[in-house]
Amino acid sequence: MTTHTKEGAHILLVDPACFDVHYAINPWMSPEAWQADAKRLKDEARAGFDALRCALVRIGCRVTVLDGVPGLPDMVFPANAAVVLDGRALMARFRHPERQGEEGPFLEAFKRLEAQGVLTSLALLPEGCFQEGAGDCIWDANRGCFWAGFGPRSDAAAAGFVERYFDRPVIPLGLVTERAYHLDVCFAPLTGGDVLWYPPAFSAQAQTTVVERVGMSNLIAADAQDLAAFNVNAVNVGRDIVMARCTPRLRALLEARGYRVHDVPLAPFMLAGGGAFCMTLRLDRSTVPLVGRDILVREVCA
């Protein structure tokens, strides 16, 4: 475990040394494409990971990097490891056997983070209750609530456990397409009060809930091209947004609202169904605003 110390948001990454694509558990995954050019894609994955880490450091983040585990390629997506708020972590339970092996290594890593004082407590969901971390349970600091996706991966019942553990409101949202198998693929609350989302990913009831709670003026609708580019799967710190290569249309929309877009080459990870948000887990999210927590400290990252 290595840490690049900064004063801003504390973000967890997992080194991509063990990353590959050799199975398919979502529609984006392409083992055939990976196997056809594995050496080049492995090199590009390393370069993309380094670019993501550098972008996060440049916008003021403190970055901690865990080692991956051989045979568990999707550990590179730690957003699914847990839901974290106020130093408390609720560990994920994965639906697919291919990812269930990650639960033990992530638990051990989080125990080390607890021993270091990064976290204050850990909890486990009941066996058989599937909930895939921040990928399906996203904190919205502006509204003081979690948005919780359910359907393809996480159970609707998991929202109740999240609400009781954190003592914060949880708003369940039904996901209706396997392309948006996690909420973070299609939904991103932003610091300015806006929400970037892809409406067709949601049930009619969920769409109504979002519009009523967020308001049309605060919604930024992504299109199918943005979804395929994993641009909704973005990391937002202050007015900065880090994502996979951004479509021109979406960049213009975000910049018009005062956000700064930093895009990085993440194509190899998109072959596994993940983008920038999937590759990160923010460890310092808090219900109490911290003075200066999102002040940007910029530096050149070699």
Q: Please give the residue range of the domain that contains residue 76.
A: 2-282
Quick: pLDDT tens for 192-216: 999 999 999 999 999 999 999 999 9
Q: Are 147 and 173 in contact (CB under 8 A)?
A: yes
CA dist 54 and 300 (Å) reads 8
CA angle 168, 113, 240 (to 5 degrees): 65
- Of 10, 61, 182, 262, the active-site residue reads 182
Q: Nearest CA to 280 among 76, 61, 1, 71? A: 76
In a domain, 301, yes or no: no
- Annotated catalytic residue, options 54, 61, 186, 278: 278
Q: Tell which residue, 66, 55, 15, 82, has the closest CA to residue 269.
A: 15
Q: What is the pLDDT of residues 230-272, one digit of tens each?
A: 999 999 999 999 999 999 999 999 999 999 999 999 999 999 9
- What is the per-residue pLDDT for 8? 82
- Report the amino acid identity of residue 130: F
Residue range 70-122, pLDDT digits in tens: 999 999 999 999 999 999 999 999 999 999 999 999 999 999 999 999 999 99
Q: Which of 164, 162, 165, 289 is nearest to 173 (CA)?
A: 162
Q: What is the CATH number of the domain that holds 257?
A: 3.75.10.10
Q: Is 278 a catalytic residue?
A: yes
Cα within 13 Å of Cα(197), Cβ side: 27
Q: How many independent structural domains does the chain possess?
A: 1
Q: For the chain, how many helices (H) and strands (E)? A: 9, 16
Q: Answer yes or no: 22 catalytic.
A: no
pLDDT of residue 159 exceeding 70, the answer is yes
Under the banding of pLDDT at 50, 70 and 90, the label for residue 288 is: confident
Contact 44, 272 (CB under 8 A): no
Please report where in the chains the tokens 């708003």 appear, as a residue: 171
In a domain, 276, yes or no: yes
Contact 72, 17 (CB under 8 A): no
Please report whether residue 258 resides in a domain: yes
